[in-house]
Each structure stands twice: as structure tokens, then as C-alpha cells.
Chains A and B, each alone.
Chain A
Amino acid sequence: MMDSLPLLVAATLNSGTVLAFAALGLLINERAGIVNLGAEGIMLVAAVAGFATVVHTGSSWLGFAAGALAGAALAAAFGVLVIWLNTNQYATGLALSLFGVGFSAFVGIRYTQEKLGERPNFEIPGLADVPFLGPALFRQHPMVYVAIALTAAIAWFLYRSRSGLVLRAVGESPESAHALGYPVRRIRLAAVLFGGALCGISGAYISTVYTPLWVEGMIAGKGWIALALTTFATWRPARVLLGAYLFGGVTMLQFHLQGEGVQVPSQFLTMLPYLATIVVLVLISRNASFIRINMPASIGKPFFPG
């Protein structure tokens, strides 16, 4: 058990990173007052875009770029629909999700038999050989560390920067922000594009690093877990990251326990993230002031200037 513990930590970080990118993107979305239920579809399209790019160019960094671009492009379509045409955010998001499932399967047909081949492992020289901590923390894909840095950057942006304050104002009260002369719709679109790009990076991470292959539907619900995660974390970046590791850890622990001979029904653990989210929702809903403090007030509501 002691020698497998650092490896369990490493696997948890890896699994959590997938969720962290998407959930951080959705957090920015929701802080600006937009809920994008299309995350699953965006991640699927980005996964095939990223995979195809790596197949053709061999560069995993271009793969992430392609994933981010594909994610932002889909998010742009979503943004125009819900921000300018004021369509219902939930219905449009669901439509985008369903569209993404079908569209990614369609464009991905020829990539289902492609292989990326064996890829080198990453490690931080020196630190990787520290006992226990090395294998646990310092032999990860660079994106794992990028996710941690990104969380810090987003926390700084939201709470310490002027533009972050404006973004939160748009999410709390778009009317007031509008009255002060801020371009509410353009700010919301920027948040949606950023969110789409991060979901895209998460999708590309899954198809090029986490499980380096493309098969349709391979995101397998991780987009929905990321959506649940933003609520679970009560819209705070650091809690999003911790929640991502927690949900990632539950997934890994389930298999780890099985390997150790402990019988836990895997179906039960599959439903845990959603159950936890509902519990958190119930808990925060019991306290009206808690909701007021944490939940962006205009979330899900359309904004009509003038």
C-alpha cells in the first residue's frame, strides 16, 4: 500500500486535471452570468480536433491549440445565440451538447483507427527522484502544472484585478454594469469564448494525453461532472481545483480498491460526484445569504440592454 500511494496521488492529479480545465472555464462563464450546458459536446469536438491535429502534425502543443480553437468556435456560436438572440441558455446548451456528440462522431470516423504511438514520459529533473514526492508530484504531464498555475491566475483575475471586478459585476447585475457603460454583451461573449477554449483544452488533453486515442463519445460524461463541479465548488477557483482532484481521486480510488481486493460497487462511485453536488446545492440553498454571497445573481438569465 505504501509504495502504491504516491502512484495513486499521481493518477489522481492526472485525472483531476481533465476536470479542472473544463470546470475553470465554466466557472468564468458562470461568473459572467452564462451557464453553458454544452460542455460535453464542446469537449468531444475539441477532443477530435486535438487528436486529428496531433496525428497530422505530430505536435502535442498544436493539438492543445486546435482543441482550444475548436472549443472557442463552438462557444462563439453558443454565445451569439444566448447573448444577442437571447435564446434560453439551458435549451441552447443542451442542443450544443447533443450536436457535439453527433458532430464529433461524424468528423472523427476516419480517426478511429489512428494511433499516436508511444509517447515519452515527462518528469522534472532532480525533483522526480525525491522519494515519495517524486513519483507522486513531479512526473506529470506539464499541463497538470499549467492547471494549478491557471487556477491561481484566475483567482487573481477575479478578486484582484479591475477587469475581474467588471466581469463579476456583469454576472451579478448586468443592468448596473450596463448603466456604468460597460459593454455587457461583449464581456459575456469574451467569458464564453474563454470558457469554450478551456473546455477545448480539457477535451484535447483527454484524447491526446489521458487516453491517447479517438473513439466517439470518449469524454464519457466528464463534461457533465465539470458542470456539477462549479456548483459543488460554489464558484470559487481554488475550490474548483480541489473538487477536481477530489472527484478525480474518487474515480481512481474505486479501481485501486478493487485491485486491492476490496469490493466497492463501481456503479455507486460513478454516481458519487453528482450526489455530492446535489448535497452541496441543498446545503447552500438552505441559507439565503450564503447563496447571495456565492452564486452569481444573474446566472442563466438573459440580459436586454435599453
Chain B
Amino acid sequence: MTRISKRSFVHLAGWGAVAALAAVAGCSKKEETTTTTTTAAPASAPVAAASAAPPAASAPLKVAFAYVGPVGDGGWTFAHDNARKAVEKHFGDKVETSFVEKVPEAADAERVFRDMAGQGNKLIFGTTFGYMEPMLKVAADLKDVKFEHATGYKQADNMRTYDSRTYEGAYMAGVIAGGMTKTNTLGVVGSIPIPEVIRNINSFTMGAQSVNPKVKTKVVWVNEWFNPPKETEAAQSLINGGADVLMQNTDSSAVLQTAGKAGKYAFGWDSDMTAYAPNAHLASSIINWAPYYINAVQDALDGTWKGGSGSWWGVKEGAIDIVSISDKVPADLKAKVDSVKAGLKDGTFVIWKGPITSNEGKEVLAAGTNADDKFLGGVNFFVKGVEGKVPGGEKK
């Protein structure tokens, strides 16, 4: 009797193990499909594709995009994907685009870039800072593929960089925030303390100070681009600390929604986020990547694409805008935003113009000088009015 039940146990345990394995296998299979084919691109494939170049005029140019988040984030990645759709619309059947979402900023990215090239893509966009090293490595191996890297600073013969002047949007949002705050305390949920984000926090504060010199800005870092519960908690603690207008340099709409729940104000970032919290939403600082993407694809189609360069587009080129300004914003404040926008467009207005002092009282930009792009690329201090210290900012 015992023998039989023991045997049947072994039998059943076996079935259980099969079921568990099936569950694990099912899961890992899913992961594979989201990052497109994993092993289908042997090392020889790109070489074979390379020897087939140049493509016939009728064959569409294959363009691929690697995204760091899901296209449904409603923010950063969403904006890139809208621009990809604009490219498809603009060029019709002359191009064929594809994307892989949620590509981690790690070794996996390299594999994804190789896969993309293996599938015959000739122009590849990587849309986050963390793809810089993997992309550089792949670019060195695959000379016939053109690489475009967003927000980075390393380039190669077949790799160039592009970025948008998000700080211009942050400044315009700051103008609105400075006029709307009652507590004179603004709050920013920061992602990762890199120059781009610090520059945005500073520009936001400078915008606010241009209409309300008493404004101070509190900053809370979540050390991630996308973690809605953490963004919520950070936003909540800023509100608890007295901030009544929030901005975020993270990728989801969580901060805006938290402000909505607490009856405070906030902004949309990267994409128009009005719908997430119509009552809390003051305006959205958006990035329109479409002009750059269309331009880059045009270069590739014309054969005029050149690597080793970088571009940084802003309001002037139509890459940055502030949209869906709420009716709660008074007309004179709106007019002020419009004049800033017009000034940025024709180049008569400069945001980063000396004298600028850090919040430790040091003059970082002398009176009368305009910051150049190199200066802007290395911002590692808070300007006067921002509270606290840049994490790790003391080392120079």
C-alpha cells in the first residue's frame, strides 16, 4: 500500500514539475517575443546583408527604433513612437519602420542592435542615454549600418547623436509655475542626477524666478526613469513639504496624477498629458522628434547622411514646445510664455545667460556671457533657488 502511494506520489510530482516548467517556459518565451527574435540572427547574417548593398531604388529603407520603455508610457517613449509614425506617414512606402520596446540599458541592448541590423535595417535609432556604449560597439562592427543615438555624446563614422533642448520646455513650464504657485515652493521629481536632468531643474527654477523672485524649488530623486509607485511617493512627499506646483523629469504620468489627487498643479512632460488629470494639468512641455527623424531619414535616402556629428534641436527647429496651457493660467502669464517662445524661435532670447550663481553662492556664468553647448552639457550644480545638493555633485 505504501509502495503504491509512494510511486503515485513520484508520478504526480513529475507532473507538477512539468507544469511548473511549462509556466517558466511560457514566461521566458514571452520575453523572447517582445525583444523580437533572439537567436535568429547569426553573426554571418549582417555580413550577407552588407554584401547585397546598395539596395535597389524600389526596396524601402528599413529603419528600426529601440525604446527604453513601453510605447504606452504616455511620455518619453510615446513621443518617440509618435515621431516614428510621422516618419512612416511622411515617406509612405519608401521606408519600412519597426521598433523594439523595453530594451534594457545594458548588454541586452547590444544584442537588440545586432538583431536589428541582421534583419536588414540600415538606419537604427537608440532612444536613451544608456544605449551609448552598446551602440558604439555594434557600430564599430557593422560599418554599413547608420546609427543615431539620442542624448549621448560619443560618436563614430557611422554613428551620430541627437538630442532636444528639453530645458527650453522646462523654462517655459517654470514661467507658468512661478506665476501659479501660492506657497512659492515648487517641487521636481528627478529621475537620475545627470546634467540633462539637473539642467532641466535649473531652467524650470530660472523660468519661475523670471516672474516670481521668491520662488524656491525642492527636488526629490527616484533614481529611475520609470517607476510609477516610486514617482507617486516622491510627488506625495514634495506636496507634504509644501510644494504646490510640481514638475517631473520621469517618464510616466504618476506625478501629474498625484498632484491631481492632492488638489495641486503639475505639468505634462515629453508628451501631452492633459487627459491624465485635466484639473491639475497646467501645460505640457513636449518633445516633437518628428522633424529630426524625418530629416535623418531624408539624409539616409539621399545618401547625404554623415556620422560623427551631433545635433541639438529646440524650439527653433520645432522640436520643443509647450502645449495645452490650462484655462486656469491667466492671460498675462500666457503672453509671457508666448514671448519667451517667440524669443527662443528667432534667437533673441537666451535662457542660460550670465550672471548665473549656484545655490552655494558661486558665480558659474559671468555677467554678459551666454552659455555654450559644452557648458550646458556639463551642468552639475543647482542654481540659486533650488534647495539641496546635487547627489555626488561635490566631486568636480
Contacts and interface: CB of A to CB of B under 8 A. Distances in A.
B278 interface: yes
A255 B234 contact: yes
Interface stretch (B197-205, B221-229, B295-303): B221-229
B228 A256 contact: no
A229 B12 CA distance: 32
A211 B229 contact: yes
Interface in A106-134: 106, 109, 112-113, 115, 117-119, 121
B312 interface: no
Given A4-B242, A81-B19, A260-B241, A119 B261 contact: yes
Contacts of B389: 261, 263
A101 interface: yes
A117 B275 CA distance: 8
Nearest to B72: A112
A290 interface: no
A304 B26 CA distance: 30
B228 to A, nearest CB: 5
B223 A258 contact: no
Interface residues of A, number: 56
A108 B228 CA distance: 16
Nearest to B187: A259
A215 B70 contact: yes
A215 B71 CA distance: 11
B239 A7 contact: yes
A300 interface: no
A206 interface: yes
Nearest to B387: A261
B229 A222 contact: yes
Contact of B223 (A92, A112, A256, A266): A266
Contacts of A76: none
A256 B73 contact: no
A215 B72 CA distance: 8
A15 B388 CA distance: 25
A11 B23 contact: no
Given A7-B240, A112-B72, A101 B27 contact: yes
A211 B261 CA distance: 10
A246 B31 CA distance: 35
Nearest to A18: B229
Contacts of A210: 229, 232
B326 to A, nearest CB: 14
Given A87-B16, A222-B229, 13 more contacts: A11-B240, A81-B20, A91-B20, A92-B16, A105-B30, A112-B73, A213-B252, A219-B229, A252-B236, A255-B220, A256-B241, A304-B5, A306-B1
